[in-house]
Structures are given as C-alpha cells and as structure tokens.
Chain A
C-alpha cells in the first residue's frame, strides 16, 4: 500500500500547514530530559550535577551547598539508600528516582495492557519481539498527578498489571517523588548557587501544602536552612535546623543543623 502524501508536503491550506508545522517543532521542556537523565543516573547527568556543584565552590554558601551535595552523594534521603553506594553528586535530588529506575528493571515482566481509557484509542502494548508477548509499558499514575513521574519499587511492580487500580492519592509517605517536586528542589538549588537565597526561599514556600506527602521534606528543610543562613536570618535558619534535628535525626544534614543550633543566639534545641 503506498503512503499518501503528508499534508505538510502537499495538501491543505497554508493555515493548517502552519498549525502542523508548529506542532511538529514543539519539544519537551529541557527539564524533562534533564530529569530523565538524572533519574537514569547517566554519565551526562552525573557530569552536569558535578559541574553544578563545582561551580558553586566559592564562598560560605558554597560550603553549605557542598554539604548538601555530600548529603545527597551519601545516598541518604529520607531513609532512601542509593543502591550501589556510588559516591558523587549525581544522586542529590533524585536518589529516589535512581531507586525507582532500578526497580523498574527488577519488576516482573510486564503484561499486555490493551484496554486504555475510552479517551484514547485502544492501544496494544507495543510488541517487542515476534516471539515475545506484547509488553505493557505503563507505570503507576496515582490519583495525584504529582506522583506520576517516578515511583517506588512496589508501585512500579504493582503497576505491571495493566488494569490494577491506581494507588490512593494520599497515604503514608513512600519513596516516591514527583518530577515537580524534584524540579522545585532543583530550582531552589540553582537559585542558591546563583546567590539568590531569597529567591530560593520563595520558591520553597508552601512546599508542604503543595506536595502531600512531602517526599523531599528533608532536602527542602536543608535548603531553607541554607538559604536563611545565607540571608543572615539566624532565627529562620535555626527553626529549620530544629526541624531537621527533630524529624530527621539520622540524616546526614543533621550535623550542619546542629552546628547552626550551637551558634549563640540560635534557638534552643528541643
């Protein structure tokens, strides 16, 4: 069967061609690829994060960021241990993503999901090899759009079953962090690196109410503490330090928090 000529090449009025050309030229925002690469833990992502850290290697703010980077590199984020114990800075924000990726690979073979929503055409899972059953490639979309991007081992594995109900929107904290949460933290870090502590603090305002559960709270508290200290707001820095010490006493950032709390004039530790 011969292919019909595409409209872009031959056919409709210029107005439609313009629409199609425009649609064709669209691309994903850079953060999508960046987030993907970081989640994959690829070389490029590692390099990007490392150079970002290196770029921030001057001044007092930098030393605090360095701590943050080491914190992430240590692989401990809210109790998440990065598999493999890889040192470095690439795991800073998305250590959970790295775990999620590993989980995807460890998930059982995915089965066919050929029954999508009536909003969409019936889509067979793409066939992989002729002898292999079609593989469904879908992951958990929780009730919350926020929890869509990446998920824990359990949720990815459970999502392998095509029509299984999505997990409930809220619930006890899991190791899941959304792309938006990661982007938020990433943006705050960038602001800090650029010396915009106030901007970093503003961007993190209301984080806990926007993201429930707040998967990256340890990171957010730490960034708030760093930003407050950079602004010379000792009481705000101490307040966040107290929260870190109180809520995440085993986190790598607790040392820095305790240092801040030892500063004369800082709030008394609980």
Chain B
C-alpha cells in the first residue's frame, strides 16, 4: 500500500534527515520542522526516487529546506532562534547528559568552522556513512571532488579541533 511504503520510508530516513539538518547548522526545533517536512515531500515523490538514491534525495531535500531557513533568517534577523531543546537520553545520568551536551556543542562548533562544501562532504561521509559515489550524487559533484573535499575537510576539522582543545598536538601527530 502506498501509505505503508511512505511510512517505511519515513521510518527509515527521518533520523538521517534530522541529523543532517542539525549538522548543517539548524537549532533542534528547526531541525524537527525540516525533518518532518522533508519526509512529507520525499514520501510524496517516492515513485520518482531512484532505488539506491534515497539518501541522496533526502539530503537534497533537507539541504534545500535548510538553506531556506537561513535565507528567511537573514530576512527576519529580529526573529530569535527557537529555544534549543536538545533530545537527550533520559536514562542517562547527569554526568552523561552533560557529556552529551558538551559533545554536541563541540561538534557543532567545529563543523560551523568548516566551509559549507567541506562540511557537507564531511558530515555525509564521516557521520552518516554514505559512500563517495553516494555523496557525489547527493552534492552533484564529481567523485574526485568528493575525495579532495573530504581530505581537506578532515584537515580542517582536525585543525579546528586542536585549536579548540579537543585534543593535543601530540595526539594529532600520532594520527
């Protein structure tokens, strides 16, 4: 049934959509909205999504929605960001929760320091686990460009992480 197919698609990809929205710089509340809307759009076009390209399709949908949020924010700079309501592991103890918040903040800060092109390649490869051909399709760039962006993204990520004290230069040299 079409509804079942749409539901299966939404279940399979909603977390991916939400994480991408977050890693591209949206606050949690905005990521909620974007992920939900992306799922509605994607499920309305299931018949035209090439098998195997689902994540690329969802990524493109999310990226476009995120860019609109940013554009809208520039038009309405007086609008405060939605209050951050981080989803947390409610079974975790306070120390763990604090660690989660800190890790998220650190990661988001490092990613924000990357250029958008590098950030996208890094997020899709290192966090979301897409293959390079999948990333090439999602970003609409040649395979070789994916590889070079990924290499530069790793270098930049490491440099920013060291600058922020995530780890030391000694550790970096051991890399």
Contact = CB atoms under 8 A, between A and B. Distances in A.
A22 B127 CA distance: 9
Interface stretch (A56-64, A135-143, A252-260, A261-269): A135-143
B36 A137 contact: no
A31 interface: yes
Interface residues of B, number: 96
Given A27-B15, A137-B41, A42 B4 contact: yes
A135 B75 CA distance: 26
A81 interface: no
Interface stretch (A10-18, A200-208, A215-223): A10-18
Contacts of B98: none
A119 B67 contact: yes
B168 to A, nearest CB: 8
Nearest to B123: A23
Interface string B22-60: 111100111111111111111111001110010011111
B69 A145 contact: yes
B10 A36 contact: yes
A103 to B, nearest CB: 9
B72 A137 contact: no
A28 B70 contact: no
A22 B101 CA distance: 10
B44 A124 contact: no
- Interface residue tally on A, bucketed by range: 35 or more
B23 A23 contact: yes
A32 B40 contact: no
A19 B103 contact: yes
A148 B41 contact: no
B33 A7 contact: no
Rank and list the top 5 A-B pairs by shortest CB-CB distance, nearest first. A124-B140, A116-B67, A28-B18, A137-B61, A141-B68
Interface of A: 1, 3-4, 6-8, 11-16, 18-20, 22-24, 26-29, 31-33, 35-37, 39-44, 97, 100-101, 104-105, 107, 110, 113-114, 116-130, 132, 135-146, 148-150, 162, 166, 169, 178-180
Interface of B: 1, 3-4, 6-7, 10-11, 14-15, 17-19, 22-25, 28-45, 48-50, 53, 56-61, 63-72, 75-76, 79, 82, 87, 100, 103-104, 106-107, 110, 116-117, 119-121, 125-129, 131-132, 137-140, 143-144, 147, 150-151, 154, 157-158, 161, 166-167, 171-172, 174-175
Given A23-B23, A104-B40, A124-B139, 7 more contacts: A19-B166, A23-B104, A26-B15, A42-B7, A126-B57, A126-B58, A148-B65
22 contacts: A14-B167, A19-B106, A20-B127, A23-B23, A24-B129, A26-B18, A28-B14, A36-B36, A44-B7, A97-B40, A101-B40, A116-B68, A117-B70, A122-B117, A122-B139, A123-B60, A123-B138, A125-B64, A126-B53, A126-B137, A145-B29, A180-B32
